[in-house]
Amino acid sequence: MKQSGEATNLAGKVIIVTGGGSGIGAAIAERLAAHGARVIRSDIRPESNTDGDSGSEFFEQDVGDPTSWESLERYVTGKFGKLDGLVNNAGIYRPDTIVETSIATFREIMRVNVEGTLLGCQSALRLMTAGGSIVNIASAAAMRPGPTDVSYGMSKAAIVNLTKAVASHCIAGKLNIRCNAICPGGVETPMSARTLVGPGARELAQRLRDASVTGALGKPSEIAAVAAFLLSSEAAFMTGVPVLVDGGFSL
């Protein structure tokens, strides 16, 4: 069902949204479905299956597992016969500093954030035989790294680099596939709620608000609106671009 007064049209487009069980992913899935897309929400948590609420379909998936992507490919091919869009949104956050971080923490974050996005892009390139659009969810931390999110910031910077590499590959191969990234700042999600706790959390939250053009944290719906635009034909001349949606935090 298309939202009144909005031009974005994704009617009939088949789009996967990873990490679609909550937060930004759920908001993106809902927005895309409202614009007429046929949405597959994947998430590692089966309890996040709320198909009836979002107008989308649920697929249980571990984005860091290649076999899980193979299963999703078979599902999409068998049911829809094509893929038009992919939002690589699934990600995790662990607070760490350069002194305190461990290889175990680093690898845990990289497995989901970077390997999951890499596998998603590879899967999309196989499925998008008639062209399409990939949107990778990175972070403002990729542009403005902080002292307490070393591994997370590195993972998101890698996603920006990967986005450019995929875009370049698709141009060279004349594949008619675009690949862009969204770099959100502080957004009100269940993950950020878990992050903004403990010593100094209140001060951090206030610093994020003070650096925002709205004086508040972002809303998932604000990220979803940009994702819908990038997936649509309205963004046909955009590829390889990291789009900052951070209220001005990175200035």
The catalytic site residues sit at 152
Cα–Cα distances in Å, from 86 out to 6, 47, 91, 211, 231?
21, 22, 15, 31, 8
Instruction: Specify the amino acid at residue 102.
Output: S
DSSP 56: S
Q: Spell out the residues 6+ positions from residue 154 whose beta carbon is closer than 8 angstroms to its own.
A: 106, 110, 145
User: How many Å apart are CA 17 and CA 44, to the nearest integer?
Assistant: 12
Q: Spell out the residues 6+ positions from residue 166 whose beta carbon is closer than 8 angstroms to its own.
A: 121, 125, 134, 177, 179
User: How many Å apart are CA 123 and CA 237, to the nearest integer?
Assistant: 23
Q: At what angle do helices 103-110 and 150-172 cross, to 10 degrees?
A: 40
